[in-house]
Structure formats: C-alpha cells, structure tokens
Amino acid sequence: MHPPSPNTDHSAKTYDAIIIGAGVVGCAIAFNLARKGLKTLNIDALPAAGYGSTSSSAAVIRTYYSTLDGTAMAYEGYHDWKNWQQTVGADTEDGLARFVETGTLVMKTAADSMDRILQHSDALGISYEHWSAEQITQRLPGYNLECFAPVKTMEDDTFGAPTGGHLDGGIYFHAGGYVDDPQIAARNLKDAAGRNGAEFRFNTKVVKIPVKDNRVTGVICDDGSIFHSRVVLNVAGPHSGKVNALVEGDAGVRIGHRPLRQEVVQVKPPEALGYSREGLLVADNDVGVYVKPGSGGQLMIGSLNPACDAHIEEDPDDFRRDLTDRALTYAYRYSQRLPDLGVSQHPVGVADLYDATDDWLPIYDRSDIDGYYLAIGTSGNQFKNAIVAGRLMTKLIDYCESGNDHDGTPLQLQLTHVNHTLNTATFSRKRELTRESSFSVLG
C-alpha cells in the first residue's frame, strides 16, 4: 500500500490517517491501516476504546442478510471471530473477547421470504437446516408456535391474541453466535493496532475538519490541538452526522442516516426451561423480536423494527438511557412465544443509539471531499463485520489515494476467507435505497 503524501506543514503532528472514533469499527480500521505501515491516530471523545455504542451492542454474529454482498461480508466476518486470537495476533491485558457459537434460528413467518436469503447461502456455501415445529419445541422447551402477526404495540387492544394458524418451522444456520464482551473486543483491536504503531487519543473531541483545495488537511480538537493528515475517516457511530457537519464542504452523502433510539431488555426465564448462554439466537418476525442468550441464563430481547415500532431519532449528546415501555413491549412480545417467561414491570437492559441508514445498510465509501472517508450508518448489524470493514476501508483508501475513480469504477474487494468479490458500490454514499434490504436491523 502506498501511504498518502504527508502534509508539509510541520507546526503540528502529522499522520497518514486520522480516524474519528474508537469503537469496534474504528479500531478495526486502525489495526488494518497500521499493519500496512501507515501512521494512524484515532481520536475519540470518550474515555476508552469501545466505550460508546459498541459497548451496548448485542454483538450478534450471524451469516444471513438480504443482499449477497451483505451475506458474504457477514460470513467473512464469522471466520475472523471464530479464530479471534489468530485475528488479533496475541492476548491483551484485558484478556480476549470470546466468540460463543450457538447457531442462529430464523422463524419461518408470513412476513419473511427466506428464498433469497437461502439462495445467497447456497451461493456462498453457508450451511443451514430446515427445522420442523417439533424440532424447535424440542430445542426450545415451552415454546408456543401460534401466529400473532401483524406485530403490535401493547396499546393495541388485540395485543397478545393469536391471529390464527401456527408457524411451521424455521431455518437453522450453523455458523453463528455472539461475542461475550463487545467492549473487550474493541480493546483487543486497539491493542493489536497499537502493537503495529497506531496511536489513540481519548477524552478529545474534534471540532473542525479543515479543507483546502477540496482536500482535508487534518483536524482541530476542542483542547486546541491540531493534527495534520491528508486522510480523515469518519467512524463516529451515532455522532457521524455531527462529524460530517464539521467538514468545510459537502461530503455528498445522498442516502440518509440518523441516530435512532434502541432498547434491549434482559429477562431471566424459569430455570426449569433450561436456557443457557450456549442457547440459540432467534429471529422471529411474527412477534417482531430477536433473542440472544446472555450470562447467568439471561435472555436479551430486542426489536426487529416492525412497522409499529416508530423510529425515534435522538440527539447523541442529549438522550436518556432509562428503559421505557418499548422495552417492556419487547419482553411481552416474546412472552407470546414463551408463556412461562416472567416479565418484570421494572425491566433492566440497555438503551443506546444506532446510526442507521434509510435502508439499514452501511456506508463504506469515500466522499466528495478528497481524503475524507466514511464508515458510517453501521449500527445494529455491522459489529459482526468490523474486521472486514477494516480491510475494506484500508483497500479503499489505497485505491482512491492511488488515483483511481472509485465513484466511476468502484473498488472490487476479494474476500480473504470466502470465495466472493465484494462490489463496494453496494455501500455507496450515493446509492438509491437498496430494495433487497429487509429495512430492519437484520440488514
């Protein structure tokens, strides 16, 4: 890889690339750039790597997406997580994050058309099984497979009432699970980047991204620090829109993205049901929730963004982290499926923000301003793809800084573990809505 030409102004420290954000994706980008010999600096307003929305991630690792490129990217990422110590190169003082392989079950519902997803799986060699209703209830004791769709809120008088018929099974994907501590995963990547020379600066907020002759020149921080670079990456998660506003010029992002409130509730099912941290990950559009096993036999329950769950946009610098009735709603929806589930009126869990695009697919792209790159709109379904995103952005920077016209001839990225070449135009800032998308957190 050819590092960009350094800024010739030596009045402040100069880097080959400055990365705004030190979540799991920002640290993965630093790791990959530093391994290629670039001098990098991550700047984050928070105290540590993975301290922001990464720490609130359900950290689900799955291999089914609505698009072929999304599926391939997820399957590529699965291999990185499955061999995590090899991926990051060594243990760290925090210990290594652990990938818990459980498999993932997607219920066959009237709202889902699995045909396209299974076609993608077949094309990429991703293994799966068709499970009958009997197999599901054997694996998930206490399950009620009555249909409840369309998904409703608790304000609806018919909430909780079956609507006729039963689910006739699901698709079980063998490759899948979750990472036990997403913040530790980000720190593992930070430490791996640091061993390759990457630098990190925390408790520091970028307040301006100067541009000269349509090329970024670096960043100015709230403490007066100035850092020079001809390459700046916005990897700021829910703050990415605010960071774009700091650039002196228009980044040319056509597809919308915004910080959306998300809540995940934690519930402990009766011990007699035998649920454990090695239990299944389940996506169930009939009741509009996904369920992830957690520590201590807890279940984490979040929304699959059905139409009745209105999007709530929040200010990432001013929002409440208390759970609301939305979290209770998710728990009660899952109690339709698992009637013996006890739901507390004082739920515990996580409330945070997603940075989600209008079609729920990420933006991995250059911008209309030379040297200014975007890894945004990633929340909700890109934790699993963080390492792959790091490789993608590293190749993209090299491709563009070497004089290639990425907008005219998009980078084609050959994956490392999967026999597939990503057309990175899939993740363009200028794309129309991706009609294949689920338009939900499933991507």
Residues 205 and 248 in one domain: yes
Residue 69 lies inside a defined structural domain of this protein? no
Residue 86 lies inside a defined structural domain of this protein? no
Higher pLDDT, 134 or 112: 134
Residue 8 lies inside a defined structural domain of this protein? no
Residue 193 lies inside a defined structural domain of this protein? yes
Last-in-domain residue among 313, 337, 357: 357
Question: Per residue in 177-216, pLDDT tens?
Answer: 999 999 999 999 999 999 999 999 999 999 999 999 999 9
Residues 244 and 271 in one domain: no
Calculate mean pLDDT across residues 44-59. Answer: 95
The answer on pLDDT for 49 being more than 70 is: yes
Question: Per residue in 58-116, pLDDT tens?
Answer: 999 999 999 999 999 999 999 999 999 999 987 666 699 999 999 999 999 977 778 99
Least reliable range by pLDDT among 260-274, 316-330, 403-417:
260-274
Residue 22 lies inside a defined structural domain of this protein? yes
User: How confident is the model at residue 48, as a pLDDT?
Assistant: 97
User: How confident is the model at residue 396, as a pLDDT?
Assistant: 98
Residue 67 lies inside a defined structural domain of this protein? no
Residues 141 and 108 in one domain: yes
The answer on pLDDT for 7 being more than 70 is: no
Residue 87 lies inside a defined structural domain of this protein? no
Q: Is 361 exposed, middle or buried (0-12, 13-18, 19+ CB in 10 A)?
A: buried
Residues 383 and 347 in one domain: no
pTM reported for the whole predicted model: 0.95
Q: The CATH number of the domain where 24 resides is what?
A: 3.50.50.60
Residues 412 and 314 in one domain: no
Last-in-domain residue among 328, 357, 386: 357
User: How confident is the model at residue 272, as a pLDDT?
Assistant: 75
Least reliable range by pLDDT among 78-82, 93-97, 154-158, 240-244:
93-97
Residues 215 and 325 in one domain: no
Last-in-domain residue among 331, 357, 383: 357
Residues 164 and 190 in one domain: no
Residues 210 and 337 in one domain: no
Residues 386 and 412 in one domain: yes
Residues 167 and 269 in one domain: yes
Residue ranges making up the domain that contains 230: 17-58+182-256+360-427
Least reliable range by pLDDT among 340-354, 380-394, 415-429:
340-354
Q: The CATH number of the domain where 140 resides is what?
A: 3.30.9.10
Residues 268 and 393 in one domain: no
Number of domains in the chain: 2
Residue 417 lies inside a defined structural domain of this protein? yes
Residues 149 and 265 in one domain: yes
Q: Report the mean per-residue pLDDT for the chain.
A: 93
User: How confident is the model at residue 269, as a pLDDT?
Assistant: 86
